[in-house]
Structure formats: C-alpha cells, structure tokens
Amino acid sequence: MYIIESMNIGCHVSIAKGIDKAPKIGGELDCEVMQIFTHSPQGGRIPELDAETVKNFKTAVKKHGIKAVYAHAPYYINLASKNNKIYYGSISAIRKNLERASLLGAKYVMTHLGSLGDMTEKEMLGRMKESFAKIFDGYNGSAKLLIENSAGAGKIIGSDFGQIGKILEIAQKFPAFGGICLDTQHSFASGYDWKNDFDAAIKELDENIGIKNIKLMHSNDSLTDLNSHKDRHAHIGKGKIGLEGLEKLAAFAQDNDIDMICETAYPGVIDDIKILKEIRNSNAK
C-alpha cells in the first residue's frame, strides 16, 4: 500500500539571495524537500556560517514546510587528482560542506568524485580509500556523504554501476558515509535504459549497488541520447527518457521511500515538481 508523501519531491534552490532566503524560495516553488549549495559552487574562500544565519535558515525551513534539506558539494571536486592543490582542496571542501550541512540541519551532502586521469581503476580505488579517511577523520557532524553517479564524459569516475559498487565497498566502512544519490539523466547517458529496458537497469543497479543504498534521486529527463555520456538535463517528459520512463522511476522511488530532487531550470521546474507529485499521488491507494 502506498502512502502519499512516503517520498517527497522538490528541486535545487538558489542561494543567490542568501542561504537563509532559500527555504522561502523552495516554498514558493512548492517544494516538500530542497537541495542547495552551502556556498558558491564555483570556488574561492568558503565563508563561515554565523549563528544568526543558521537560526534564520532553520526557522524558514519550518515556516515554509520543507521536510528535508540536501546539500550539493561544489563542482570542482576531484579526489583522483594528482595535483595536490586540487586534491587537498577537494578533501577540505567536502569536509567543510559536511560541517556546514550539519549546522544547517541538512541530511546529506552529495558529491561527484572527479576524473580518473591517467590512473588505473585500482589506483583510483586506493585514492578513494585515502580520501574518505581524510574527509571523515575526526568528523562528528550529523550530515552524511552521498556519492552521485556521473554521466561518464571522458574519464569521469562513477558512471558505471559496477565501479560505483567497488567504491561503495570502501566508503561504507566509514560511519559518516550515507550511500548513493542516483541521477536519472546521468545514468541514462551512461547507458542504463530507463525508457526501454527499465527492469534490466534496476536489476543491474541492485546487483552492483543495492537498492537499499540509494538515498536520494536527482529526477531529470535527458536532452541527450542513451549512452551519450553527456550531462544535459531536460524537463520531465520533455527528453529522451520520456514521461513513461520517469513514471517508472517515480514509482521505484515511492516504493523505496526515496526523495526526488529536480535539477532543471526555472520556471519549467515548477511543472516538473507538479508532474512528479501527480504521478506519486496517482499511485497512492
């Protein structure tokens, strides 16, 4: 039996007007949950979160009915880089995002892992083990880390469910690791056919990652073809996955209590949230 809102729906919300203003924007977009950056994702110094901003943020979350907050790590993360400035900067940024997310009461921080470069997969896995140990050393915050799958352009890590499963085995040894954020567009672009071979894609996901380890879903249609390895989001039902594929993914999320976050542009994202809610509610019995 389905229960309405056993999984919640929302979108990525801008913090351009101030991080404490984001919950109001989320409420105006009809979000039940929301995703934010905790600071500018483009790089530069990460400012401290003062007590008043944190208080105002939490008050606004309650006022606007946001049931959960998710944070996204910045774009420049590369835990496989052989450039020490990039490598240690990535470790520091993830750790700071975990700490900031904990202050804000966010549940998870999700991150991409970077590019393989000239590393072998074995070398990369060793680097991941080292990276997670550094990220979590002495960390006692409440927010947990999620790995997000990638679209697989170039040598980007994490497009293949089998590879993600190997990284998962390493990461799960750390208590502050939470699991996987499944991006529907990235996985479609990586060759997992949510439109025409849904059951096979779910089977491969479960065998390599485990359904229980999917903690959040980025719910995006795809502007590009299956196996294109291009990260290009489309509005729900307007892309190559199509409405039927997204309906199946929403039912899967509903069955497994996985919240759905749209990462599509305003104002179309309003309709994306509305469509996903209609799918969810039509499944409720």
pLDDT value at 190 more than 60: yes
Candidates 105, 106, 115; CA nearest to 75 is 115
pLDDT at 3: 38
pLDDT at 154: 86
Fold of 74-258+272-283: TIM Barrel (3.20.20)
pLDDT value at 2 more than 50: no
pLDDT band at 46; cut points 50, 70, 90: confident
The token pair at 66 is 């946001």
pTM of the prediction?
0.96
pLDDT at 143: 98
pLDDT at 5: 52
Place of tokens 């672009």: 189
123-171 pLDDT, tens per residue?
999 999 999 999 999 999 999 999 999 999 889 999 999 999 999 999 9
pLDDT band at 42; cut points 50, 70, 90: confident
pLDDT value at 6 more than 80: no
pLDDT at 44: 78
* Across 250-262, average pLDDT: 97
* Across 186-193, average pLDDT: 98
